[in-house]
């Protein structure tokens, strides 16, 4: 049971590129497999490498509806799955005063009084759907148990209504920053994709796509400096998002090439810790050149 | 699916399991399904497809790749390149390598790696007993690191271009050379596997993922890799500790406030009030053996606990070799890295008085004499060391004294359990007094720290 959005790995790359998402071979292959095998996709990786963007791009190119569940500490069934609309149920009971209890009971636990939360929405939808469960690691352990049924069999059990099975399996994407180890049970229901930092060639293409109007040589220099920064021992390595931000900043500053002055002034866009900036300055020999000039 | 692929896949999964990637039958089935969908035409697709199905964590990818190259090799036997127009001398080979490095041409580099192993890496008779291929020997003879200057000159094409990125050239080339060394290692493993069988090579030649490397035998690069894991690990542990803290205070009813509240509803306790305990900030004392062999382990643990600093009100770190001294002020996150930390401690604190052999008895005596007031009823004491006393008095009384004052005392021993109390180790004697745990890898350290540290 697959979603059948794509016909081949190359098709995935081409379509995603059309939506402004440049996928590496690993990303394209895994997306294609998830699509074909109908398995959820668990995406891990550092912040800012485009985990959430991937789900959005897939939704866009397949013309699906994107249903997003943002996880946070303390999220529960009522927020993730469904909830009964108590206020409306009360109204219904008071409105029908002279009917019997039997009638009222069968009525108030009907679809009309069910508040659908993202997971149920995605399962019960008839149109093609991309289900994005964002930052799964932020949710508590109990929610993972909930996800097992939803992602394993694409079904949800509501005690009063019975089991609702998906007529069309959604394309499910889970993202995680690995602040917490997800349970083994959840992991083995998913295909695993680790998005790391892209190689230089891909990153150069990303920069040129996201920052139109940037000079090719400048894009090249930016990517090379970022690669050098990533090889350093920093607290927070710059991600693709930072690369793009930096390229935009440089464009806004009107810099056509990199030099010490520009790099020193704009390094704050790329690195977020003071000691990282100091270390990078030493690593890129910014000070040394300053002394010489 | 063509014959032989299922068997090869099962063999591959077995090798992964032996390397600590727990792929079960359901993953294997997924992997087979992935192969069915993707076909076997494109090796890089097969690699990514299998990784999606079999790998479960980011850190396992390196192990997976190494095993993949063994079980699904890019070719068989002598590489194509070595059969025709092969360079005849070492100098010619180095010349070609320099050109390929300057270009950054991955395909050419791959071919050259195959060629280098074929020409330089062979020892013994290739097919006979005792023969094989060695990456070490190849790299020793080829010396790719000595090419950096030549490549640099080729890249710059005469003079520096006067651009900002010029200063990056050298490091980039160094990374390319490092990549080439990796390719040579992969190629040597592939050739060796053909001579000696895949399973044997898989067992010995694939480096384990960093969190399963033994502290005591970790190489320099492995230690550097371990260091990179400190930040994520400490963040993970902090989340886990916070979760445990929250759980312990959940669901306790505050009777007094519940009754007070129930007055407004006619004495019926409709809304129970829960007790919120203020989070305790436990104190930690680390007592570390810094003598040569175990120093890497102690440094690493120290940094990890220090990184968890915001979880604890007070951490004090003591180190000893044959004399104890406080080193809390030297262990600061960010600024310190384990490599230099040990050296700085040995230089700046009074740890060595005599010959630099660890003296547990004397050091413990010194600790109890001078700093016993650091240990109070809220303190957890972690002692890190291999308990090798060099034949001296283990001074169990001092440990008992510490234990009597502290809330918990744990001993983390980086040696495997079967070696405890062999030779000059007094591990089991200490283990009789305090709880001792084997802590050989980052993986074990992670589990122990969350389990043992107080909440």
Q: Sort out which chain B residues have CB atoms less than 8 A from A30's CB and list them.
A: 48-49, 52
Q: What is the pLDDT of residue A240?
A: 92
Reading the block at residue B42, the tokens are: 């494109």
Distance CA B81, CA B38 (A): 29
Q: Mark A167-187 as b/e (b = at least 16 C-beta within 10 Å).
A: ebbbbbbbbbbbebebeeebb
Q: Do A180 and B51 touch (CB under 8 A)?
A: no
Query: Are B442 and B233 a contacting pair, CB within 8 Å?
Result: yes
Q: Do A260 and B227 touch (CB under 8 A)?
A: no
Q: A182 near A176, Cβ under 8 Å?
A: yes
3-state secondary structure B83-150: HCCCCCCHHHHHHHHHHHHHHCCHHHHHHHHHHHHHHHCEECCCCCCCCEECHHHHHHHHCHHHHHHH
Q: Which of A10, A37, A293 should be substituted to probe chain B, the one whose Cβ sees the most B Cβ atoms within 10 Å?
A: A37
Helix runs in B212-294, H state only: 220-248, 255-262
Instruction: Find all residues with CB under 8 Å of A291, minimum gap 6, and list them.
Output: none
Specify the pLDDT at position B355: 72
CB contact under 8 A, B335 and A275: yes
Nearest CA in chain A to B231: A235
B210 and B225 Cβ atoms separated by less than 8 Å? yes
Return the number of other C-beta atoms located less than 10 Å from residue A9's C-beta: 24
Query: Are B379 and B285 a contacting pair, CB within 8 Å?
Result: yes
Which residues on chain B are in Cβ contact (under 8 Å) with A76? none
The sheet carrying A65-70 orders its strands as A65-70, A129-134, A171-176, A41-44, A191-194
Nearest CA in chain A to B162: A259
Q: Taking CB atoms and an 8 Å limit, are B30 and A39 in contact across chains?
A: yes
Say yes or no to pLDDT of A48 above 90: no
Alpha helices in B250-359 (DSSP H): 255-262, 295-307, 338-348
As a whole number of angstroms, the distance between CA B53 and CA A191 comes to 5
Q: Integer distance in angstroms from the first to the last C-alpha of chain B?
A: 54
Distance CA B61, CA A235 (A): 22
Token pair 């963007």: residue: A53
Beta-bridged to residue B382, according to DSSP, are B286, B410
The nearest CA of chain B is from the CA of A226 a distance in Å of 10
pLDDT at residue A80 is higher than 50: yes
**Residue A125 and residue B274: Cα distance in Å, rounded?**
40
Name the residue with higher pLDDT: B85 or A178: A178
Locus of tokens 């480096």:
B207
Q: What tokens does B76 get?
A: 């068989």
Give the residue ranges of chain B where pLDDT is below 70.
Answer: 1-3, 80-85, 125-130, 158-162, 231, 245-251, 277-281, 293, 295, 306, 309-311, 313, 332-340, 454-455
Residues in chain B within 8 Å Cβ distance of A279 = none
Q: List, for residues A192-231, the tens digit of each pLDDT value.
A: 999 989 988 899 999 999 998 888 888 988 998 999 898 8
Residue of B168, B177, B449 best to disrupt the A interface, most CBs of A under 10 A: B168
ipTM of the complex: 0.86
Residue A93 has pLDDT above 60, yes or no: yes
Name which of A127, A170, A177 is nearest A147 in CA terms: A170
At A267, list the tokens: 């390094």
The 10s digit of each residue's pLDDT in B51-86 is 999 988 877 888 899 889 888 887 777 776 666 667
Identify the CA nearest to B339 among candidates B370, B379, B302.
Answer: B302
Q: CA of B92, closest CA in chain A: separation in Å?
A: 30
The mean-pLDDT minimum among A104-113, A237-246, B220-229 falls in: B220-229
Structure-derived torsion over alpha carbons of residues B231, B235, B236, B238, reported in degrees to the nearest 10: 140
In B, which residues are within 8 Å of A221 by CB distance?
A: 163-165
Q: How many CB pairs under 8 A join A and B?
A: 101
> Dihedral sign, CA of A281, A283, A286, A288?
positive
pLDDT at B204: 75
DSSP assignments along A26-86, one per residue: HHHHHHHHHHHHT--EEEE-STTSSHHHHHHHHHHHHTPEEEEEE--TT--HHHHTEEE-H
Beta bridge partners of B319: B288, B325
Closest CA to A55 of A80, A34, A37, A25: A34
- Tens of pLDDT, residues B150-195: 888 887 775 556 677 777 888 888 888 888 888 888 888 888 888 8
Q: Fill in the DSSP letter of residue B274.
A: B
Q: For residues A74-88, give the mean pLDDT.
A: 87
Nearest Cα neighbor of B383 from B413, B339, B346, B359 is: B413
The answer, yes or no, to whether residue A279 has pLDDT greater than 80, is: yes
Report whether B54 contacts B31 (CB < 8 A): yes
pLDDT tens digits for A1-35? 677 889 999 999 999 999 999 999 999 999 999 99
CB distance A37–B61 less than 8 Å?
Answer: no
- Residue A165 is encoded by which pair of tokens? 């099975």
Task: Please report the pLDDT score of residue A129 as a whole number.
Answer: 92
Contact B320/B248 with Cβ under 8 angstroms? no
Report the 10 Å Cβ neighbour count for B269: 15
* Angle subtended by helix axes B43-54 and B5-18, to nearest 10: 50
Is B151 within 8 Å of B98 (Cβ atoms)? yes
For residue B54, the surrounding DSSP H or E stretch is helix B43-54
For B2, the token pair is 């063509």
DSSP H helical segments within chain A, as ranges? 9-18, 25-37, 51-62, 77-80, 86-95, 101-108, 118-124, 141-153, 184-188, 200-210, 216-230, 240-253, 260-270, 274-283, 286-292
CB A78 within 8 A of CB A117: yes
- φ, ψ for residue B189, nearest 5 deg: -65, -40
| Token pair listed for A225 | 């400096």
Do strands B314-320 and B283-289 pair parallel, antiparallel, or not at all (unpaired)? parallel
Look at residues A84, A62, A200 and name the one whose alpha carbon lies nearest to residue A130.
A62
Q: Do A233 and B227 touch (CB under 8 A)?
A: yes
Average pLDDT, chain A: 87
């Amino acid at each position: 049971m697959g979603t059948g959005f794509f016909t081949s790995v190359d098709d995935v790359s081409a379509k995603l590129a059309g939506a402004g998402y440049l996928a590496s071979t690993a990303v394209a292959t895994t997306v294609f497999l998830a699509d074909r095998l109908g398995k959820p996709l668990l995406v891990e990786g550092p912040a800012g490498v485009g985990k959430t963007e991937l789900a959005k791009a897939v939704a866009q190119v397949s013309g699906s509806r994107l249903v997003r569940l943002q996880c946070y500490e303390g999220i529960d069934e009522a927020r993730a799955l469904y909830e009964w609309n108590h206020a409306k149920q009360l109204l219904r009971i008071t409105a029908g005063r002279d009917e019997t209890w039997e009638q009222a009971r069968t009525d108030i636990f009907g679809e009309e009084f069910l508040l659908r939360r993202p997971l149920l929405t995605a399962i019960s939808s008839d149109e093609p759907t991309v289900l994005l469960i964002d930052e799964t690691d932020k949710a508590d352990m109990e929610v993972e148990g909930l996800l097992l049924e939803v992602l394993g069999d694409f079904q949800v059990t509501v005690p009063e209504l019975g089991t609702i099975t998906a007529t069309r399996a959604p394309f499910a994407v889970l993202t995680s920053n690995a602040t917490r180890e997800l349970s083994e049970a959840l992991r083995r229901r998913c295909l695993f994709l680790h998005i790391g930092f892209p190689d230089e060639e891909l990153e150069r293409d990303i920069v040129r796509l996201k920052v139109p109007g940037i000079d090719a040589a400048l894009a090249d220099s930016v990517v090379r400096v970022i690669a050098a920064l990533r090889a350093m021992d920093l607290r927070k390595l710059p991600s693709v998002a930072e690369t793009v931000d930096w390229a935009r900043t440089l464009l806004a500053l009107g810099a056509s090439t990199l030099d010490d002055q520009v790099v020193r002034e704009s390094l704050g866009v790329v690195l977020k810790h003071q000691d990282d900036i100091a270390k990078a300055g030493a690593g890129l020999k910014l000070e040394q050149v300053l002394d010489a000039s | 699916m063509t014959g032989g692929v299922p068997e090869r896949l099962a063999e591959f999964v077995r090798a992964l399991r032996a390397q600590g990637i727990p792929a079960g039958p359901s993953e294997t089935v997924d992997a087979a399904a992935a192969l069915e969908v993707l076909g076997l035409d494109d090796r890089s697709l097969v690699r990514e497809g299998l990784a999606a199905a079999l790998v479960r964590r980011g850190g396992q990818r390196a192990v997976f790749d190494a095993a993949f190259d063994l079980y699904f090799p890019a070719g068989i036997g002598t590489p194509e390149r070595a059969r025709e127009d092969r360079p005849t001398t070492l100098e010619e080979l180095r010349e070609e390598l320099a050109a390929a490095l300057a270009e950054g041409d991955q395909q050419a580099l791959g071919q050259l790696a195959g060629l280098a192993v074929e020409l330089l890496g062979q020892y013994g008779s290739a097919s006979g007993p005792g023969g094989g291929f060695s990456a070490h020997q190849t790299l020793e003879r080829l010396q790719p690191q000595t090419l950096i200057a030549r490549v640099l000159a080729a890249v710059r094409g005469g003079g520096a271009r006067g651009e900002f990125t010029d200063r990056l050239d050298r490091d980039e080339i160094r990374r390319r050379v490092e990549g080439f060394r990796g390719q040579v290692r992969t190629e040597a493993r592939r050739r060796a596997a053909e001579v000696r069988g895949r399973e044997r090579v898989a067992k010995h030649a694939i480096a384990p993922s960093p969190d399963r490397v033994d502290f005591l035998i970790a190489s320099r690069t492995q230690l550097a890799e371990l260091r990179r894991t400190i930040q994520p690990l400490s963040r993970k542990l902090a989340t886990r500790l916070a979760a445990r803290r929250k759980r312990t205070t959940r669901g306790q009813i505050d009777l007094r406030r519940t009754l007070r509240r129930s007055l407004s509803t006619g004495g019926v306790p409709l809304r129970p009030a829960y007790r919120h305990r203020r989070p305790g900030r436990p104190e930690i004392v680390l007592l570390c053996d810094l003598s040569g062999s175990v120093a890497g382990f102690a440094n690493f643990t120290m940094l990890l606990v220090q990184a968890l600093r915001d979880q604890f009100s007070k951490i004090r770190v003591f180190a000893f070799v044959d004399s104890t001294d406080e080193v809390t002020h030297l262990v600061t996150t960010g600024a310190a890295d384990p490599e230099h930390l040990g050296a700085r401690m040995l230089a700046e604190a009074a740890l060595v008085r005599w010959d630099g052999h660890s003296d547990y008895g004397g050091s413990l005596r010194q600790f109890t004499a001078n700093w016993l007031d650091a240990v109070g009823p809220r303190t957890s004491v972690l002692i890190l060391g291999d308990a090798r006393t060099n034949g001296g008095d283990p001074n169990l009384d001092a440990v008992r004294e510490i234990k009597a004052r502290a809330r918990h005392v744990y001993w983390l021993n980086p040696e495997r359990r079967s070696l405890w109390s062999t030779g000059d180790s007094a591990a089991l004697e200490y283990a009789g007094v305090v709880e001792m745990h084997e802590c050989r890898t980052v993986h074990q350290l992670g589990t122990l720290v969350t389990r043992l540290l107080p909440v």
